[in-house]
Chains A and B, each alone.
Chain A
Amino acid sequence: MANKSVWSDNRFWQRSAAWVTGFASVLLIWLTFDTSAQISMGNDADLQNGVTKRVPGPTVINYKITYEMSQKRGHEVPIIGGNDGKGMSLFQEKETFFGRDDWSEEEAAELLHLGKLGTQAKNCMNCHTLLGNGAYYAPDLTKAWLDPAWGPNGSMQAMTGKDTKEEAMAEFLQHPSQYPTHERMMPNLGITAEEAKGIVAFLKHMSSIDTNGFPRNFAKIQGAVHGK
């Protein structure tokens, strides 16, 4: 058999497929460990020592969190406790959360856990999106804490008649159907005062997670950071 083409030779395709499959397997296993390391939660010591973690420790609820444009990275990044001027967190400026800025690591973790269970029990993702998971029937909650509508002079805070962001959010969560928002009004899910507190803590912690700018254009949509 003269001049048999390599392209029609089975061994060429077998060896190519074996190489690609094997290499991809190694790459995916490596990616799994790399991801695990990057998404592991920090702790209180990290915050106190000024160590930037992609997912900060639970005591981040004691700090002021802002969302600021990083010229270097080309999108907004969560800044915890003040900006050092170079787009990195200073971890200094505190902010009271339900009247306290000294939540211990255990208390904060417990509150976040309650909030996480609350968001799962009430199935927030049925309408909202959390960290990319969920629906877009209702607003994306990944950075909801940073939405100025809930801040001082914000329309949502004014609507609930509360003095602080966390109290306004907790009030809304307990009686959502009392407040006119838009056509897709949130139903009353029977969230208790303690659950609402936990859920707001969960949202505040979530807003401090560095999501590489996700959701894109959050800062440019109406009502959000820098929005009109």
Chain B
Amino acid sequence: MFEPFTDVVPSFFGWLNQGPLTLTIFLHTVIILPMIWIYYQEKKRLENEN
């Protein structure tokens, strides 16, 4: 599932590009999780407005 990191020059972007799984985990971390957080904040705000 996880491949060893083998790039000639170690880099954050090299790690990101090792395969679909690392990219998926990364994109979920930086897009989906903050959106869930924003979702609950906005939900709370709408409930307070009512």
**Footprint of B on A, CB under 8 Å?**
1-4, 6, 9, 11-12, 15-16, 19-20, 23, 30-31, 34, 38, 52, 54, 70, 72-74, 77, 210, 212
Contacts and interface: CB of A to CB of B under 8 A. Distances in A.
Contacts of A15: 38, 42
B9 A38 contact: yes
Nearest to B50: A2
Interface residues of B, number: 19
A29 B9 CA distance: 19
A6 B42 contact: yes
Contact of A34 (B8, B12, B30, B34): B12
A19 B6 contact: no
Dominant SS among interface residues on chain B: helix
A128 B35 CA distance: 46
17 contacts: A6-B43, A6-B46, A9-B46, A11-B45, A12-B38, A12-B39, A15-B42, A16-B34, A23-B30, A34-B11, A38-B11, A52-B8, A54-B9, A70-B6, A73-B7, A77-B8, A212-B7
B2 interface: no
Interface of B: 4, 6-9, 11-13, 30-31, 34-35, 38-39, 42-43, 45-46, 50
B11 A73 contact: no
A1 B50 contact: yes
B11 A4 contact: no
A187 to B, nearest CB: 37
Given A6-B46, A73-B6, A16 B35 contact: yes
A16 B42 CA distance: 11
A15 B43 CA distance: 13
B46 to A, nearest CB: 5
A89 B43 CA distance: 58
Contact of A19 (B11, B12, B34): B34
B38 to A, nearest CB: 5
Nearest to B39: A6
B8 A210 contact: yes
Q: Which of A6, A54, A70 has the most CB of B within 10 A?
A: A6
A23 B13 CA distance: 15
Contact of B38 (A16, A23, A30, A38): A16
Contacts of A52: 8
B8 A54 contact: yes
A13 to B, nearest CB: 9
A52 B11 CA distance: 15
